[in-house]
Amino acid sequence: MLKPIIVIYNKSCENSPACRFAKENGLKAILCDNSTIENDNEKFAAEAGFTYIPMGGNKGLSKAYNRALEIEAEEDYYLILDDDTSLPENFIALVKAHIEKNPDAELLLPIVKAGEAVISPAVLGKWRVRMVRKNEKVKAFTAINSGMVVKKSLFSEFSYDENLFLEYIDHDLMCYVKDKNKKLHIMENIQLFQSFFGLSNQTREAALRRYNIFKSDFKYFVKKHNRNRFVAALIILKRKIAAERKK
């Protein structure tokens, strides 16, 4: 029923909770390796029965996803996972129950947390993406990639925009889902846990590298979806200041 797509970067599959979960539960994942350092991930993939795709360096998330989607899957649904996402033991059974009750849903979303903060679903506001406030009724919401369960038929119409390297790829998909009135469902009884990059400790050098990726991707997203460029410039400036303040 589920075909996981996992993109891994400069990490051993042995240290990836998503890879371990797929292997332990007999899920035949597609593993795209964006790593720039040597590892044993191909060996791990072979032992787990994964399809291993070496990307030949860090080609970005969108290209890795599209490469994975070129592989014909027998399963009816894809499960998109970041390599550092932790899933509950009963995840598969819970997802199957949601699919059976919501067979028309083309996108099913879990609750994703980083620490105590719910980071997905989130609000896709006029100016930025933010977390949902307590008891807030959300109309324009978005979600992160990890944990998405996507009906295979949706990807017959949609491919990831390769002008986006890393950031806002998930929000671009959610804009498509909204624009095309695709049916989605939130799996409120499923919680995943994410080692969210933005909440992790970073060196100044790492923060500036991530800022440069964010700047390029965010500017493209703003232009594509006709968002306020002045406000976008302020958001980019704020992100730059935060990165430069790192030690």
Which residues, 6 or more positions from 99, have their beta carbon under 8 angstroms from its beta carbon? 1, 77, 105, 108, 149
H-helix or E-strand containing 3? strand 2-8
Q: Quick one: pLDDT at residue 203? A: 87
What spatial distance separates the first Cα and last Cα of the chain, rounded to whole Å? 46
For 26-56, the pLDDT digits (tens) are 999 999 999 999 999 999 999 999 999 999 9
Domains of the chain: which residue ranges? Answer: 2-200, 201-247
Q: Quick one: pLDDT at residue 139? A: 57
For 165-219, the pLDDT digits (tens) are 999 999 999 999 999 999 999 999 999 998 755 445 678 898 999 999 999 999 9
Which residues, 6 or more positions from 10, have their beta carbon under 8 angstroms from its beta carbon? 34, 35, 36, 37, 39
Beta-carbon-side half-sphere exposure of residue 58 (alpha carbons within 13 Å): 10
Report whether 18 contacts 87 (CB < 8 A): yes
**Fold of the 2-200 domain:** Spore Coat Polysaccharide Biosynthesis Protein SpsA; Chain A (3.90.550)
CA 228 to chain centre: 25
Local structure of residue 164 (DSSP, 8 states): -
Assess whether pLDDT exceeds 80 at residue 127: no
Beta strands, E only, 10-50? 30-33
Residue 131's pLDDT band, with cuts at 50, 70 and 90, is low
